């Protein structure tokens, strides 16, 4: 009876933690699973659910908030310019931004708002958010488990890793932009 109660509360702790705090608690949960405290399957399933619910709430609230912003001509013009700028990176598929944004601290909500601005349907958003979340969990849980297992000196500073990946992605984007600019200029 007690074990069933602990398992039930463990699930809610993981769900609510990832719902409100995201990756900052996921590493700790995965570390606990490496030490035998929690099941890695339970961590993965409930973290997936908490993240998906949080992202969907952000998407729906962004859609509602953006409808208010677009009613003001000055704000609408700024949003259109921002969306046009971001469209250069995602092309006709704005949901691509979400697949990448999951891995950059602080960019997830911005990518979700961009998708709402671009009018991505809720069903399509859910599909790509689920795919992005699975990929994100497939990276973050092993990192947390490695930290929990105490692989001497392997304690990863997640923000530092994210900055390195961000710089690499920005470098690729800059090169792609320069090549495109040069091609346009030469044409």
Report pLDDT digits (tens) over 16-65.
777 777 767 887 788 878 877 778 888 888 889 998 998 898 888 888 77
8 Å CB contact between 14 and 49: no
Point out the least confidently predicted range of 99-103, 110-114, 179-183: 99-103
Taking the C-alpha atoms of residue 48 and residue 83, their distance in angstroms, rounded to an integer, is 28
**CA 107 to mean position of chain CA atoms:** 7
| pLDDT value of residue 1 | 42
125 in Cβ contact with 59 (< 8 Å): yes
On the question of pLDDT at 164 being above 60, the answer is yes
CA-derived radius of gyration, the chain: 19
Quick check: 56 and 141 in contact, CB under 8 A? no
In the 8-state DSSP scheme, what is residue 16? Answer: H
């Amino acid at each position: 009876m007690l074990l069933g109660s602990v398992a039930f509360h463990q699930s809610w702790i993981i769900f609510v933690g990832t719902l409100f705090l995201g990756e900052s608690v996921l590493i700790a949960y995965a570390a606990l699973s490496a030490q035998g405290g929690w099941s890695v399957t339970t961590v993965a399933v409930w973290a997936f659910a908490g993240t998906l619910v949080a992202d969907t709430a952000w998407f729906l609230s962004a859609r509602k908030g953006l409808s208010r912003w677009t009613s003001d001509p000055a704000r609408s013009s700024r949003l259109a310019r921002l969306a046009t700028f971001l469209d250069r990176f995602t092309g006709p598929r704005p949901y691509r931004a979400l697949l990448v944004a999951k891995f950059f601290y602080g960019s997830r909500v911005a990518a979700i708002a961009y998708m709402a601005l671009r009018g991505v349907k809720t069903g399509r958003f859910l599909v790509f958010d689920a795919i992005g979340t699975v990929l994100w969990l497939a990276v973050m849980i092993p990192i947390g488990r490695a930290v929990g297992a105490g692989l001497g000196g392997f304690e990863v500073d997640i923000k530092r890793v994210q900055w390195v990946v961000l710089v690499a992605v920005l470098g690729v984007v800059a090169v792609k932009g320069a090549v495109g600019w040069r091609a346009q200029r030469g044409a």
